[in-house]
Amino acid sequence: MNEAYEYLADWFEILNDDCDYPKWSQYFIEKLGALGAGKRGLELGCGSGAFSRALARAGYCMTGADLSAPMLTKAAALAREQGLAIEYRLQDAVTLKSGEKFDFILSPNDCYNYVPPHKLQTAFAHAANCLKKGGLFWFDISSEHKLRAKVANNMFADDREEVTYLSFNTLQDDRVKMDVTLFIREQDGRYARRDETHTQYIHTEEKVTQLLCERFEVLAAEGHLGEDKRGSDRLNFICRRK
């Protein structure tokens, strides 16, 4: 079984086209402006770069970072195609380092669900070290309810013309293991099978808030796109570095 996103990188945005990237990006752009976030930002766990591209088009000076080299290769290619000057870096949230201080760090779409609970405090400390004093740290996690009740012990499928996606998910104590299979259409019409595994860790709002308060002021904890967090599958933490 291969590492997460080794093969999924090329198909990630296509398979997630139902998440409405334009609306999601506009939510970030409007709120970052309202919070006076500044213009120099880091998208951590950027994947193939959908949000960093949207922010760059909106006038932000963006850098992207991710643990997956295939994701970064895809992100750089898409940015070049759109004429956007975005630097992408191979970085892990747990060991994040930068020679510069950013005005804000944005980390959407589950990046910190890939961080084990015992490493979360270290990850937050590294994020704080990469921010200017007063800088914004905005990330989300999939909620405990979503992972335990909707994702765990379930199977998801998406069948497209060029690719078929299957995910078989198993709850293992504080995490969900996702065995992903892709069937990718090749030029001769045959389909090649590719397998990889993902592990997402379950974090509670209470524990995350407790760890954040050591270095950040938590401005808000809200649901997806600002909705009521009660019942939301996604929980946004909007913080300011002390």
- pLDDT (tens digit, 9 = 90+) per residue, 198-224? 999 999 999 999 999 999 999 999 999
Confidence of residue 4 (pLDDT cuts 50, 70, 90): confident
Is the pLDDT at 2 greater than 70? The verdict is no
Which residues lie closer than 8 Å to 210 by C-beta, 6 or more apart? none
Q: Which of 92, 19, 86, 18 is nearest to 52 (CA)?
A: 86
Q: Whole-prediction pTM value?
A: 0.94
Question: Long-range contact list for 231-236, CB < 8 A, 24+ apart?
Answer: 231/145, 232/143, 233/142, 233/143, 233/145, 233/146, 233/150, 234/140, 234/141, 234/142, 234/143, 234/146, 235/140, 235/141, 235/142, 235/143, 235/205, 236/138, 236/139, 236/140
Average pLDDT over residues 218-240: 94
Average pLDDT over residues 226-232: 91
**Are 164 and 195 in contact, with CB atoms under 8 Å apart?**
no
Confidence of residue 231 (pLDDT cuts 50, 70, 90): confident
For 125, phi and psi rounded to 5 degrees?
Answer: -65, -40
Q: Tell me the per-residue pLDDT of 134-188, one tens digit each, with 9 for 90 and over.
A: 999 999 999 999 999 999 999 999 999 999 999 999 999 999 999 999 999 999 9
Q: Tell me the per-residue pLDDT of 44-71, one tens digit each, with 9 for 90 and over.
A: 999 999 999 999 999 999 999 999 999 9
Confidence of residue 3 (pLDDT cuts 50, 70, 90): confident
Helix (H) or strand (E) holding 212: helix 205-212
Which residues lie closer than 8 Å to 77 by C-beta, 6 or more apart? none
